[in-house]
Amino acid sequence: MLLAVSVSAAAETVHVAVASNFTGALRLLAQSFEKSGAHQVRISAASTGKLYAQIRHGAPYDLFLAADRARPERLEQEGLAVAGSRFTYALGRLVFWAPGREFEGAANVLLARPDVRRIAIANPRTAPYGLAARQTLEAIGLWQRLQGRLVRGENIGQTFQFIASGAAQMGFVALAQLPEESPRPGYRWLVQPEFYRPIRQQAVLLRRGADNAAAAAFLAYLRSGEARRLIAGQGYGLEDDE
């Protein structure tokens, strides 16, 4: 009892800004983190670009879980993040998905079929999964050929919606969006990591959270074995070297 009281006296809240695609996974992580300690996690989700802009203009976040490496890196350079705190917490995995399609064969054959009118990808300019999709299409030699049929979602969430609604027949989404426990029917191809540069989703401790005990604790937790198992279970890859 005494211990519990002393711990809760030191309890703090960490405010995490998270890229949309990782929101589901972060909720699970936060649940298990809050159970084991006394600290609280508050989550704000948006696209990486928006969160970056918000942080630059003084948004009250302690920790930033981005969908890429570029923006945490920039925050570090700009002195808005604690130097050396940046690390890759997950590797995004790209999957090609054509719901409701029975097709025996390789994805590039399916993609090239003339009756396929609309293929959804995330915007390569703004979304890491979009860039990966582009690299994949380039690798299999279809990027130029498919230009007229590509529709671009602003982020990977919207891209998923394009396909799920039937407006686009197929496209590239994040593996995390197609959970194993509730399989959606259709053709899927888990794109080999060789086809695209790794989607390094990096976390960084923001200056505002530098002295926040909860932020430090949560960062440490993210690197723990338990957290890594959870992340992998959500359809993400992990960097081996850590």
Which of 87, 161, 195, 207 is in the footprint of other proteins by CB under 8 A? Answer: 161
Q: CB–CB of 93/197 below 8 Å? A: no
Instruction: Assign 3-state DSSP to the chain and report helix, strand, coil percentages, each to 5.
Output: 40, 25, 35
Among 50, 101, 207, 228, interactor with other proteins by CB under 8 A: 50
Instruction: Decide: 173 and 95 in contact? Cβ < 8 Å.
Output: yes
| Residues in region 191-230 near other proteins by CB under 8 A | none
Minimum distance between the CB of residue 107 and other proteins, rounded to whole angstroms? Answer: 20
Task: Please identify, using beta-carbon distances, which residue of 187 and 232 lies nearer to other proteins.
Answer: 187
Distance CA 53, CA 153 (A): 20
**Under rule CB under 8 A, residue 158 binds other proteins:** yes
230: Cα within 13 Å, side-chain hemisphere: 19
Among 169, 201, 202, 212, binds other proteins (CB under 8 A): 169
d(CA 209, CA 41): 13
The dihedral over CA atoms of 54, 57, 59, 65, expressed in degrees to the nearest 10, equals 50
Per CB under 8 A, 162 contacts other proteins: yes
101/192 Cα distance (integer angstroms): 21
Tokens encoding 127? 């979304």
- Among positions 10, 27, 109, 125, the unique one binding other proteins when judged by CB under 8 A: 125
Q: Which is nearer to other proteins, 113 or 229 (CB)?
A: 113
Stretch that binds other proteins, among 19-27, 147-155, 180-188, 202-210 (CB under 8 A): 147-155
Q: Which stretch binds other proteins (CB under 8 A): 1-9, 45-53, 186-194, 205-213?
A: 45-53
Contacts to other proteins by CB under 8 A: 47, 49-50, 52-53, 71, 74, 117-118, 120, 123, 125-127, 150-154, 158, 161-162, 165-169
